[in-house]
Amino acid sequence: MECLAHFNIMETNPTTKQKGFPPVGHRRWVIAEGYIPGTSIGPKPAMVSHETACVLNVSEEDAHLEITIFYSDQEPIGPYKVTVPARRTKHIRFNDLTDPQPIPRDKDYASVIESNVAVVVQHTRLDSRQAENALMTTMAFADTETVMMR
């Protein structure tokens, strides 16, 4: 197998001997579908209806995210600020976002996720409004344009 010049054993972490990854992904992602059901059935918290943006930051730098929520009948709200540390994943539940304000239940929305370093974003919804769950997932849309951070 090939081994490129910028291959990089992380000298600062000799016990796990993990290689370092360059940033992978993009710096702006879009999820056009968003909807948090207002009711749930099943044990909490795993079975509470939720809408999730799963973010992976493989890089050696913390990713500072800014999430903007768009609605059908009002101006967009944001930024919601979330940090995904270096070499970590974070499964962000839209249900849990509260600052600047919670996302209403039973209302259509969409989101734009911007980051200072490249990340990968996948969208998942667990809907437990009825006795059995329904699941759906998709990779978010990766925008290839330059990101404008605030």
Binder among 60, 62, 89, 95 for a second copy (CB under 8 A): 89
Residue 2 sits in the site that holds a second copy (CB under 8 A): yes
Output 13-20 pairs: Cβ under 8 A, ≥24 positions apart.
18/87, 20/60
Q: Provide the minimum distance between the beta carbon of 95 and a second copy in the complex, in angstroms, as a whole number.
A: 15
Look up residue 44 and give its two tokens.
């909490």
Specify the 3-state DSSP secondary structure of 11: coil
CB-hemisphere CA count at 13 Å for 111? Answer: 26
Q: Which amino acid is at 100?
A: P
Query: Can you tell me the distance from the alpha carbon of 23 to that of 5, in angstroms, rounded to the nearest whole number?
Result: 16
Q: Which amino acid is at 74?
A: Q
Residues 18-77 that bind a second copy (CB under 8 A): 18-19, 21-22, 24-25, 28, 30-35, 42, 46-47, 52, 54-56, 58, 64, 68, 70-73, 75-77
Query: Can you tell me the distance from the alpha carbon of 118 to that of 46, in angstroms, rounded to the nearest whole number?
Result: 29
Binder among 59, 88, 94, 105 for a second copy (CB under 8 A): 88
Residue 17 or residue 98: which is nearer to a second copy going by CB? 17
Residues 116-135 that bind a second copy (CB under 8 A): 116, 120-127, 129-135
Q: Provide the minimum distance between the beta carbon of 12 and a second copy in the complex, in angstroms, as a whole number.
A: 11
Q: Provide the minimum distance between the beta carbon of 31 and a second copy in the complex, in angstroms, as a whole number.
A: 7
Q: Provide the minimum distance between the beta carbon of 39 and a second copy in the complex, in angstroms, as a whole number.
A: 10
Residue 96 or residue 108: which is nearer to a second copy going by CB? 108
Q: Which amino acid is at 9?
A: I
Q: Provide the minimum distance between the beta carbon of 30 and a second copy in the complex, in angstroms, as a whole number.
A: 4
Cα dihedral sign, 144-118-138-110: negative
